[in-house]
Structure 1
């Protein structure tokens, strides 16, 4: 009888360990590219960007890890989302209030910023250009400092994507 109790305790402990490991894997904060949020007000509009924040880890990001001239999810894991509670102007073009997936098409001298109507997507695997609400073109610039992790900043001029040695400002009014 004692042997059965010992085996039962071992089975329970093993099952508990397995459940704990599985739950840890499901916990987004434990991912190599953890979730992050940037939010702020731009001319009275509440802006929120939700993304997963990959790290440089010694890699060349632009043109290699993130290829030029291809749609990029602007983060890792799920597609980055951009939400505004008011109609806004992005680089002089109208974007209605709502929640969008936020993609970019990086280029060496110019980037295309994409607001897509399908907000909940995994990466850019099912990205459909016909669902774009707005596309604008912006110019990247060299960052003043190196950013190990991808980060977004919402400020009174709009949105800034910062990663590695690059900053990509997007004007919002």
Structure 2
């Protein structure tokens, strides 16, 4: 009887050991997902009162990480991809007016040229680009200047948001990082 009991315990242990090995094999064959990007991709949408999407912006959100941003990491007077990684892209689903300039519906790259007192906002026809390495002003569609504003607190990650204008169809695209931000006015054309 002791031999039968000993054999049964050994078999149960062996089956359990094989089950653990099978689970470990399954776990090791699982995909190795990467860590979160240090400048994660984000998207904002702007909708009208009828819940129709008017605009979409896809951009990456770099972090300050105790670095001096404007004038150092992002040099003044140079074309910036307006974020990190791929250049920021903006899609208009209807014709829009931006700073008094009419922009046809479509997708554009959103570049900027930061300066201390103003930013030049550039909508460029070349899309699906990495950084600003391939930027050429020959592809510029619209350029406007907007004043730089001081933020009430530091903005750790480069951020964008929509600010709806009161009693108007238009809105402002806000872009901010560190202690600065800009407002880009836009509204449906026509």
Is 2:74 the partner of 1:60?
no
Is 2:30 the partner of 1:24?
no
Q: How does 1:59-78 map to 2 (within 5 A)?
A: 59-78=67-86
Is 1:47–1:154's contact at 8 Å kept on the other side of the alignment? Answer: no
The equivalent of 2:116 in structure 1 is 108
Is 2:45–2:53's contact at 8 Å kept on the other side of the alignment? Answer: no
Q: Number of paired residues? A: 155
Distance (Å, rounded) in 2 between the aligned partners of 1:112 and 1:31: 28
Give the alignment's TM-score, normalised by structure 1.
Answer: 0.82
Is 1:73–1:123's contact at 8 Å kept on the other side of the alignment? Answer: yes
Distance (Å, rounded) in 2 between the aligned partners of 1:144 and 1:46: 29
Q: CA deviation at 1:85?
A: 0.3
1:117-169 CA-to-partner distances (Å, cap 9, x unmatched) read: 11210010111111111111111100122110011012322201011111110
Is 1:141–1:167's contact at 8 Å kept on the other side of the alignment? Answer: yes
The equivalent of 1:129 in structure 2 is 137
The equivalent of 1:5 in structure 2 is none
Give the alignment's TM-score, normalised by structure 2.
Answer: 0.75
Q: CA deviation at 1:48?
A: 0.9
Is 2:86–2:131's contact at 8 Å kept on the other side of the alignment? Answer: yes
Q: Which runs of 5+ in 2 are unaligned?
A: 1-21, 165-170
Specify which structure has the bigger relative contact order, considering alpha-carbon pairs within 8 angstroms and separated by 6 or more residues: 1
The equivalent of 2:11 in structure 1 is none
Distance (Å, rounded) in 2 between the aligned partners of 1:72 and 1:138: 15
Is 2:119–2:146's contact at 8 Å kept on the other side of the alignment? Answer: yes
Larger Rg over CA atoms: 2
